[in-house]
Amino acid sequence: MNIVIADDHGIVRQGLKRMIEEHPDMKVVGEAGDGRTAIKLAKELLPDLIIMDISMPDLNGIEAAHLILKQNPAIKIIALSMHSEKHFVIEMLKAGALGYILKSYLFDEVLKAIDTIRKNGYYLSPKITDVIIEDYINEQPLPDKSILNCLTTREREIIQLVAEGLTTKQIALNLNISPKTADANRRQVMAKLHINNVAQLTKYAIREGLTSVEF
């Protein structure tokens, strides 16, 4: 099984690679430190599996997973996250991930997750399973303000890049659009969210898991 590891922390990638490659039937063929590099490697290397962090710079794991699977639905994705909140889990699964592992249990669970997913199953960390089951029992509806439901892919990209401090010209270059279009998109998304400044937009991006920057 050929595997790509996408995480913005080198020590996590190294630890996962070392553990995975102790198994002769698994090989780490690529590493990515951000979502866009993960998309690039997925296209170039055609891995069987991508282990994907959710909070990454430039493009977060939810958006990256969605775009990767749009290009190649055969790739399997396991999400990594420090977030156990329900909306992170739901959005990652909706994006197409087959597994969700909390980073606090990462090395204990990753091989279990890989084995389960190789057998066409789903794997959720036990704490995540408890959250989902509790929600089902209590019949609490998902919030209508889900980040993926109210914003387009381009708008989510704009939010992340603005929150990470890129200028309008840098955003335009990153997304292959004109600076005028980038500025118009930024204004449009801020109006849609009723946000008046970049500081508020950054807080929103952090809360929704669109960026890993600290505020």
Same domain, 22 and 87: yes
Residue 213 lies in a domain: no
Convert the pLDDT of each residue in 135-160 to its tens digit. Answer: 555 655 444 445 446 778 888 888 88
d(C-alpha 48, C-alpha 194), whole Å: 41
The set of residues, in sequence order, having a beta carbon less than 8 Å from that of 125 and lying 6+ positions away, is 84, 100, 101, 102, 105, 109
Residue 38, token pair as written in the block: 């993960």
For the cut 50, the answer to whether the pLDDT of residue 122 exceeds it is yes
Residue 93 lies in a domain: yes
Same domain, 25 and 112: yes
Number of domains in the chain: 2
Task: Read off the pLDDT of each residue in 33-41 and give the average, rounded to a whole number.
Answer: 96
pLDDT band for 215, please (50, 70, 90 cuts).
Answer: very low
Task: Determine the pLDDT at residue 138.
Answer: 60
Lowest mean pLDDT: which of 61-65, 111-115, 159-163, 205-209? 205-209
Residue of higher predicted confidence among 210 and 148: 210
Same domain, 75 and 104: yes
Say which CATH number the domain at 183 has.
1.10.10.10
Closest CA to 125 of 108, 139, 140: 108
34, 40 contact by CB (below 8 A): no
Domain residues for the domain of 114 are 2-138
d(C-alpha 50, C-alpha 164), whole Å: 24
Task: Determine the pLDDT at residue 97.
Answer: 94
Task: Determine the pLDDT at residue 137.
Answer: 55
Residue 47, CB-side half-sphere exposure with 13 Å CA sphere: 25
Same domain, 133 and 173: no
d(C-alpha 152, C-alpha 189), whole Å: 9
Task: Determine the pLDDT at residue 198.
Answer: 81
Residue 215 lies in a domain: no
Task: Determine the pLDDT at residue 6.
Answer: 97
For the sheet with 27-32, list strands across it.
27-32, 2-6, 49-53, 76-81, 99-102, 123-124
Same domain, 29 and 125: yes
d(C-alpha 24, C-alpha 80), whole Å: 23
Residue 58 lies in a domain: yes
Lowest mean pLDDT: which of 104-118, 134-148, 180-194? 134-148
Last residue of a domain, one of 117, 138, 159: 138
Task: Read off the pLDDT of each residue in 84-106 and give the average, rounded to a whole number.
Answer: 87
The model carries a pTM of 0.71
Q: DSSP character for 136?
A: H
Same domain, 127 and 163: no
SS3 state of residue 12:
helix
Task: Determine the pLDDT at residue 159.
Answer: 87
Convert the pLDDT of each residue in 45-90 to its tens digit. Answer: 999 999 999 989 889 999 999 999 999 999 999 999 888 877 788 8
Helix axes 153-163, 198-207, angle to 10 degrees: 110
Task: Determine the pLDDT at residue 29.
Answer: 97
Residue of higher predicted confidence among 3 and 127: 3
